[in-house]
Chain A
Amino acid sequence: MKKSKLSIFMNGFIYENPAFVIFLGMCPVLGTTTSVENGVYMSLCVLFVLLLSNTVISALRKIIPDEIRLPVYIILIATLVSVVDMLFHAYLDYGIYQSLGSFISLIVVNCIILGRAEEFANKNTVVDSIFDALGYAAGFALALISVSFFREVLGTGKLSWAGNSVTIIPEDYAIKLFQRPAGAFIVLGCIVALYSVILRLVNENKEKKAALKAAQEKAVSTAEVK
């Protein structure tokens, strides 16, 4: 059965969210989320690399010999990451570049990118792979931005973007812990728990709807028989 583009996108975005459901590529979710700005730039990085790697790999999927596909993917991804690293170094605000630090280079070994290449891009068409990449990158961005939102608001009491900031909690009441590593683990743990509750409600709702629909169809068909 051919899947619709939307369901491919939603799969990565919601149902198999990389950080909340399948727990892959977690390092940047914890390491680069001290502020929303960092989170957004990190997700842009991942989006760029994932989109290009999925596109190129699915375009070349019939040319790359099966036995050496992993080394080929690794070299391709490492090249793309080097490009992103140099672009960010040249054009991005230097403070943000420094706070992302080696996490940009470490996208090379991020399991999501290699995982998508291996699981999806080498079996599917270019257009499908692009939607898959967009879905997973969006899911990753959802994780990064939600974690960094809570860490920034609770840890510093304000939200800032490009030098401008809005105070939400008075600074004296901010809890510094959330800017620290320990806070990252705790915020992520709470969000994962919240997400699992939401996902369960969504799935139950879906099942209920499906059951209702099946019951209606059955009623209609029995009515027709009569």
Chain B
Amino acid sequence: MQVFSIAFAALLGSNIILSRFLGICSFLGVSKNRKNALGMSIALIVVVMLSAIICYGLGALLTLLGMQDYLQLVVFILVIASFVQLLEFFLKKFIPSLYKALGVYLPLITTNCVVLQVCLDIMSPDYNFGTMLVYAFAVPAGYCLVMMLFSFIRTRLELNNADTPKAFQGNAIALIAAGLMAMAFVAFSGFAF
């Protein structure tokens, strides 16, 4: 049951974009095009899950050595940055079609706050290895869900651009649409299993 409540909260109740405000840069930047939004989300799911596994182990090691206060952040960001780089090499060599599809979004994942936030979250003692894996999948999956929904809205906004007041065109109206979406998502936050 705990697994369900973790997954539900991460996906809908306290969604990473709409109620925890993370990954906003890519949320605004990449959501104009549905294909790119999907590519970014899939790349993010892969990176978050794998770097969470590595960081979980390394974090336990640092805690054991008593260095987590001052080394945790440096170690985690290094793991994430080198992991993204490795993934880039790997995809370029073995799955070039996916590499081409992800393009510039892959290196950008290093500076996506979602990855670092998940790695920091799972260091809390509430998580064991199993629930950690569920959490590390559900958070970027929630990101994916909101990205996809928002890219549909964004396409509509672009189509009706002429009707938008001049000052609101572009990102301002997108932010307000995101606000309305956040209001809808508040409805999910009351649920508990």
Contacts and interface: CB of A to CB of B under 8 A. Distances in A.
Interface of A: 23-27, 30-31, 70-71, 74-75, 78-79, 81-82, 85-86, 102, 105-106, 108-111, 114, 177, 180-186, 188-190, 192-194, 196-197
Contacts of B72: 82
A108 B24 CA distance: 15
Q: Is the interface of A mostly helix, strand, loop or mixed?
A: helix
Interface stretch (B3-11, B32-40, B73-81, B93-101): B73-81
Contacts of B116: 105-106, 108-109
B192 interface: no
A26 B25 contact: yes
Contacts of A85: 73
B145 interface: no
Contacts of A192: 171-172, 175
Interface stretch (B53-61, B129-137, B179-187): B179-187
B52 interface: no
A98 B24 CA distance: 21
B149 interface: no
B78 A181 contact: no
Interface residues of B, number: 44
Contacts of B70: 82, 86
Contact of B25 (A24, A86, A180): A24
Nearest to B22: A27
Contacts of B161: none
6 contacts: A78-B73, A79-B74, A105-B73, A182-B186, A189-B168, A194-B167
